A and B are shown apart, each in its own frame.
Chain A
């Protein structure tokens, strides 16, 4: 008998009034939503505000499902939480996450006026809702007869099909508008590989790779300058860091040997070394533009490759 009595009671409950489970759901979700909305109002960082709004929207989806609006609940999650709020987050990342609000009031007392207006709006709305008398709730059981999406589809594609078409046109227009608004016209000509190469040639840079240290020298360590085709050491073959630190090999010993080679006495002898020292003494004053810390006697100032030395060094540096 009790089951028979409980049946209609439950049916009437389900028709209009909220069941106990729904009441519990509401009283759990509502404080969370209000707190999250306050978080939107008070959060210092924009990302935190966005997360609070996402929380509100997910709670709203739960409420829609609890209120027999299953389709809207799903659409709320997909469209609002999944698309719109992610778009917000993208724009936040584009604009800058650390963009916090300025606290300077451009209009005097705007904060308090705004707060007062918000409280006033809340009071007015609550007053209207409280004073209105609502008919006994009907419930959506008959409207949702086969299912909620089918009932919605019957309305959207029946009575409101023109509004639906207009909304489609609006979406296309909005997408085009966003494209136009974020489009940026190119003001400078595009710089590609060919233009970069032409600019380098025009600036007189060394087009070939720079010589590696130690090539054709007696040692192939990093600090030994390579020898050019004329037998002179190439300064810029030693890495710039070593040159700046003064860690390149002492050229004095190489210079003597090179001078011997250049003088045509491969085997070496007293006369040739004397010649080498005299040429050193002559060439030392006008040697080079960057003398190393230990006053190394530079070897060949008027080398044929000296013209290309300067841009090469600049480019290495």
Chain B
């Protein structure tokens, strides 16, 4: 089995995550789509690291994980703050700047 299969799987997961971000309205599910994209990129990074025999790809994946953790903390706090004021977690309801 060629290692390219991992890359194809990563591409599929990434596009599924992107589609989730584009299609879903629930802010939390949108966030999970972002997480899926980050995970897919991590898989690609690990595969590249194995292809080139170099651990730098894994280090980069590690940093991606840390940054994703920070991003999730802040993003979920924003979602909760919005939910407290608007009583909704739908991204369509946050349209205060419209009109």
A36 to chain B, nearest CB (A): 9
CB <8 Å contact, B76 and A91? yes
- A-contacting residues of B (Cβ < 8 Å)? 1-9, 11-20, 22-26, 28-29, 31-33, 35-36, 39, 42-43, 46-47, 49-56, 58-59, 61-63, 65-74, 76-81, 83-84, 89-90, 92
Known: A26-B1, A111-B23. A140 touches B8 (CB 8 A): no
Which residues in window 88-117 of A have CB below 8 A to B?
A: 88, 91-92, 94-96, 99-102, 104, 106, 110-111, 113-115, 117
Q: What is the CA–CA distance of A158 and B8 in the complex, to the nearest angstrom?
A: 32
Query: Given the complex of chains A and B, what is the CA–CA distance between A43 and B28 in angstroms?
Result: 13
- A302 at the B interface (CB under 8 A): no
> Could you name 11 residue pairs across A and B whose Cβ atoms are closer than 8 Å?
A22-B1, A30-B9, A40-B20, A69-B50, A69-B58, A88-B31, A91-B76, A114-B19, A121-B18, A174-B71, A177-B73
A167 adjacent to chain B (CB < 8 Å): yes
Bound Cα distance A113, B69 (Å) = 30
A171 with B70: CB separation less than 8 A: yes
A57:B39 contact, CB within 8 angstroms? yes
Q: Which A residues from 229 to 243 make CB contacts under 8 A with B? A: none
Q: Which of A56, A75, A100, A148 contacts B36 (CB 8 A)?
A: A56
Given A84-B35, A87-B73, A102-B90: A143 in contact with B53 (beta carbons within 8 A): yes
Q: CB of A203 within 8 A of chain B?
A: no
Chain A 150-187 near chain B by CB (<8 Å), digits 1 or 0? 01100110001001000100110111011001101000
Instruction: Kindly name the residue among B58, B61, B65, B71 whose own CB sees the greatest number of chain A CB atoms within 10 A.
Output: B58
Residue of chain B at shortest CB distance from A135:
B51
CB-contact partner of A114 in B22, B50, B55, B58, under 8 A: B22
Chain A window 12-36, contacts with chain B (Cβ cutoff 8 Å), 1 for yes, 0 for no: 0000111000110011001001100
**Cβ of A67 under 8 Å from chain B:** yes
Main secondary structure of the interface of B (DSSP, over half): helix
Q: Is A244 an interface residue (CB 8 A)?
A: no
Which of A18, A101, A122 meets B11, CB within 8 Å?
A: A122
Q: Taking A139-B50, A181-B74 as contacts, is the C-beta distance between A84 and B19 under 8 angstroms?
A: no
Enumerate chain B residues within 8 angstroms of A114, measured Cβ to Cβ: 19, 22-23
Number of interface residues of A (CB under 8 A): 91
Q: Which of B8, B32, B36, B50 contacts A68 (CB 8 A)?
A: B50
Using A121-B18, A174-B74 as known contacts, say yes or no to A144 and B55 having CB atoms under 8 A apart.
yes
Closest-by-CB residue of A relative to B33 is A40
Contact A84 B69 (CB under 8 A): yes
Please tell me if the beta carbons of B65 and A76 are within 8 angstroms of each other in the complex.
yes
